[in-house]
Structure 1
Amino acid sequence: MKLDPASKTLSPLPDVLSHGLVAVSTFGLLSFFCSTSLFFFLTWRLITWRLKSGPNNTPNQFLLLIYNLLLADIQQALAFLLNISALHNNGIFVGTPTCFAQGWFVSTGDLASGVFICAIACHTWMGVVKEYRLPTPAFYCCIGTLWFFVYAMAAIGPIVHGRDFYVRASAWCWINDAFQIERLWLHYFWIFCSMFSTVLIYLYIFAFLRKKAFSSNDRTKSPHVHGATPLMVLYPLIYTVCTAPLAAGRIYALAGHDVSLGYFCAAGTMIACNGWLDVLLYASTRADIVFSELPPGDDTGLETFAFMGRGHRLGTTTTIVAAGSSQNRSVSRAASRSASRAAPRGASKLGKRSGRGGNSGDSAENLYSLGEIAIKGEVTVSVDAQEPNLVRHDRISMDESANQSRTFDERSHKSRGSRSLRSGKSFDDTGIP
């Protein structure tokens, strides 16, 4: 096939490409490094979680979508990273394996990135708005279908037109200018569908959360909605800002207008930033899922939204976790006594750390006539008091055998104002042989 001048080999590179492709390659390298680093980290996490929890424990669906998005970003970054070859050889040479590979990775990387950004938006919408999660087999089928679609769109052109399909497209190798229809229907139509769908979905979620935040019934139940709502805006914003300039330039050229090489270099630099910005976005706003020590749960709750490791939950949360363990009675009695002595000290430390004295509204609670409390194994009581710039944790641990019970009775309590907390014991062990 005879190529037009815009699709032929270009050597030597003009000054605009000699300087512009440096920025494109640099940010492509940065995105490639960040995406591959997080991708291999998550691969190691998924393997270790699988070995610890067993094959029946399925991974978090949101985490798997991020995992696939990273794979898409790696291909996209690799496409723009290959511009280093053009800089090294001082030319873009059509018909070489490098040119074909760059065209292939541009097609698969751009489209896969948009598809999985949209898939994450749909998954978030189902989890937050509909409170629904796909069954695991259906979820895996959806991921497989999306990858099949991406590679099918990229493969149709080379199958039909051969090696003339991926040639020089102005500033780097991509689809031949002679195949404008293929450019539109095999690539940019789906890019724009993903872009607009993502924006509309997140706008709907944003409006839903704002309505929920100002609802009197839901405000007390979900105070962290206020913190999660602004973060939702970042997801479509970053993708749109990075992708729209190059897509708009290609569509403008498709309409018959001339687009300068300088514009393509600037737009290529922005889309090459997509990978490292995705890593920064998801690692900072969903760190509880991405960097979890233990396998994260399969929920997509708003409580996992945070920025740079700082949560948005307010109020006080009390959590009781029980786990079975077998201990002898002597160890249980010692743990019981130490827990009884630690309770008032923990309360006093909590007051000191919060910066409030005894006259500023603190309250100390004594528990009376609790009767018999059956405790299995280890019981951990944690109190999280979360305020802006303040997180406090006080824990009391007690060990007891699986079927034993503990009795707490009131002992003589001297009513001497605030001294009663220090002079009298609130808990005592009785009835244990």
Structure 2
Amino acid sequence: MILNVDSQTLAPLPDVLSHGLVAVSTFGLLSFCCSTSLFFFLTWRLISWRYKEGPGNPPNQFLLLIYNLLLADMQQAVAFLLNITALRNNGIYVGTSTCFAQGWFVSTGDLASSVFICAIACHTWMGVVKEYRLPTPAFYCCIGVLWTFVYIMAAIGPTIHGRDFYVRASAWCWINDAFQIERLWLHYFWIFCSMFSTVLIYLYIFAFLRKKSFSQDEIAKSPRLHGATPLMVLYPLIYALCTAPLAAGRIYALAGHEVSLAYFCAAGTMIACNGWLDVILYASTRADIVFSEFPPGPNTGIDTFTFIGKASLGTTTTIIGGGSAPHNRSGSRAASRSASRGASRLAKQRGALGSNSGESVENLYGLGEIAVKDELTVTVGPQQQHNVTSYSQGVEESANRIRNFDQRSTRSARSAQSQNSRSRTSFDGAETR
């Protein structure tokens, strides 16, 4: 097949590609390193969790979707990483195995990344809005169908057209310019469907969470909804910023317009950043799943939206009282009786110090029976954080006052006991005389 000028070997590289492909290759290398590192980390985690808990427990589906997305990002990063060969050889050589491999990885990596980002959006929608999780066998079938779809779309072209399918496409190797229809229906049509579906799904989830956050009843039931909505904007925003420029440039060229090599280098740099940005995005907002020390539960919901390891959707405050008795009704009644006896004895202490110091000392020793035998967990939203802080400060001040009173009472009791001892000594001495 006779190739047109834009599909033939280009050597030496023009200055715009000599400089532009450096940025594309650098960010491709960064994405490959980040995606591969997190991929192998999750592989080790999944193997260790399965070894500890056995094969019977259902996996966390969101974690497996991230795992497959990383595999897609690795293929996409390899595609743009191969531009290092063009820089080293000072040319893009058509017909070589490197050119064919780059075209293959561009097709599979771009499409797989878009498909699994859309799958994550659909899974989030089912978990947050519908509160539904697919059965494990059906989930695995969906994963297999998605990968089968990606590789079939990538294999149709080479199967029909042979090695002339993947040639130079302006700045790097991809689908031949003569096969514009294949470019559209085997690649970009599905990418644009995934992109618009992802944006619409997250916008719907955003509106759904905002509506629930303004409902007082729902705030009382689920106080973590309020802080989750800003995070939802990041997912479609980063995906669109990375993917849209190159896709729009290819569609613009498909319409018969001329697109410069500088634009392709800039757009290629953006999409080459997709891998390391996905790693940062999902490893930070889903840190409780990705970096969990123990196997995360099979259910995922809105409470997994955390940012850089810090809970951004509410605060849980646990107040634990003293005492070691078990949490049961009899223990609570015993604690109440002990507290009542201690309080009554404490009330008598003021009048008893002067007349009967021994009884006062005994009552003060009885204060040790007072104990709080329960645990209170308070969960609040961000709008109630100030109230909880004020309440905690009030509790701490009350505790300090009780400790100070106890110290003063103990000192008074010791002084009274000392005076009583001296009085008895004086009395015994006088009696002896």
- TM-score > 0.5 by shorter chain: yes
- What aligned pairs does 1:322-401 form with structure 2 within 5 A after superposition? 341=323, 370-371=329-330
Deviation at 1:410, TM superposition (A): 3.6
From the superposition, tell whether residues 317 and 185 of structure 1 become closer, same or farther in structure 2 (CA, over 3 Å): same
Q: Structure 1: give runs of 5+ residues left out of the alignment.
A: 321-338, 344-366, 374-405
With structure 1 as the length reference, what TM-score do the two structures score?
Answer: 0.78
Deviation at 1:138, TM superposition (A): 0.3
Deviation at 1:426, TM superposition (A): 3.1
Task: Tell me what 2:279 maps to.
Answer: 279
Task: Tell me what 2:343 maps to.
Answer: 414
Q: How many residues align?
A: 355
Q: State whether residues 305 and 313 of structure 2, in contact with CA within 8 Å, keep that contact through their aligned partners in structure 1.
A: no
Q: State whether residues 369 and 410 of structure 1, in contact with CA within 8 Å, keep that contact through their aligned partners in structure 2.
A: no
Secondary structure (helix, strand or coil) at the match of 1:277 reads helix
Q: State whether residues 20 and 262 of structure 2, in contact with CA within 8 Å, keep that contact through their aligned partners in structure 1.
A: yes
Deviation at 1:266, TM superposition (A): 0.2
Q: State whether residues 224 and 303 of structure 2, in contact with CA within 8 Å, keep that contact through their aligned partners in structure 1.
A: yes
Deviation at 1:96, TM superposition (A): 0.4
Q: Which amino acid aligns with 2:306?
A: A
Q: State whether residues 78 and 105 of structure 1, in contact with CA within 8 Å, keep that contact through their aligned partners in structure 2.
A: yes
Task: Tell me what 2:5 maps to.
Answer: 5
Q: Structure 2: give runs of 5+ residues left out of the alignment.
A: 350-363, 374-433
Task: Tell me what 1:44 maps to.
Answer: 44
Q: State whether residues 370 and 408 of structure 1, in contact with CA within 8 Å, keep that contact through their aligned partners in structure 2.
A: no
Q: State whether residues 306 and 313 of structure 2, in contact with CA within 8 Å, keep that contact through their aligned partners in structure 1.
A: no
Alignment pair present for 1:423 and 2:367? yes
Deviation at 1:340, TM superposition (A): 5.6
From the superposition, tell whether residues 45 and 422 of structure 1 become closer, same or farther in structure 2 (CA, over 3 Å): farther
With structure 2 as the length reference, what TM-score do the two structures score?
Answer: 0.78
Deviates more, 1:223-232 or 1:20-29: 223-232
Task: Tell me what 2:117 maps to.
Answer: 117
Alignment pair present for 1:213 and 2:157? no
- What aligned pairs does 1:17-56 form with structure 2 within 5 A after superposition? 17-56=17-56
Distance, in Å, in 1 between the alignment partners of 2:133 and 2:230 is 23
Task: Tell me what 2:298 maps to.
Answer: 298
Deviation at 1:369, TM superposition (A): 9.1
Distance, in Å, in 1 between the alignment partners of 2:113 and 2:88 is 28
Secondary structure (helix, strand or coil) at the match of 1:230 reads helix
Distance, in Å, in 2 between the alignment partners of 1:368 and 1:239 is 50
Task: Tell me what 1:163 maps to.
Answer: 163
Secondary structure (helix, strand or coil) at the match of 1:12 reads coil
Deviations 1:350-370 (A, max 9, x none): xxxxxxxxxxxxxxxxx9993
Task: Tell me what 2:174 maps to.
Answer: 174
Task: Tell me what 2:76 maps to.
Answer: 76
Deviation at 1:427, TM superposition (A): 5.1
Secondary structure (helix, strand or coil) at the match of 1:225 reads coil
Distance, in Å, in 2 between the alignment partners of 1:266 and 1:278 is 19
Distance, in Å, in 1 between the alignment partners of 2:334 and 2:97 is 78
Q: Which amino acid aligns with 1:19?
A: H
Alignment pair present for 1:232 and 2:206? no
From the superposition, tell whether residues 122 and 425 of structure 1 become closer, same or farther in structure 2 (CA, over 3 Å): same
Distance, in Å, in 1 between the alignment partners of 2:169 and 2:134 is 41
Distance, in Å, in 1 between the alignment partners of 2:19 and 2:372 is 78
Alignment pair present for 1:256 and 2:215? no
Deviation at 1:372, TM superposition (A): 5.7
Deviations 1:252-303 (A, max 9, x none): 0000000000000000000000000000000110000000000001122111
Which is higher, the Rg of structure 1 or of structure 2?
2
Distance, in Å, in 2 between the alignment partners of 1:265 and 1:422 is 81
Q: State whether residues 206 and 232 of structure 1, in contact with CA within 8 Å, keep that contact through their aligned partners in structure 2.
A: yes
Distance, in Å, in 2 between the alignment partners of 1:369 and 1:55 is 37
Measured on the aligned residues, the alpha-carbon RMSD in Å equals: 2.6
Identity of counterpart residues, as a percentage?
77
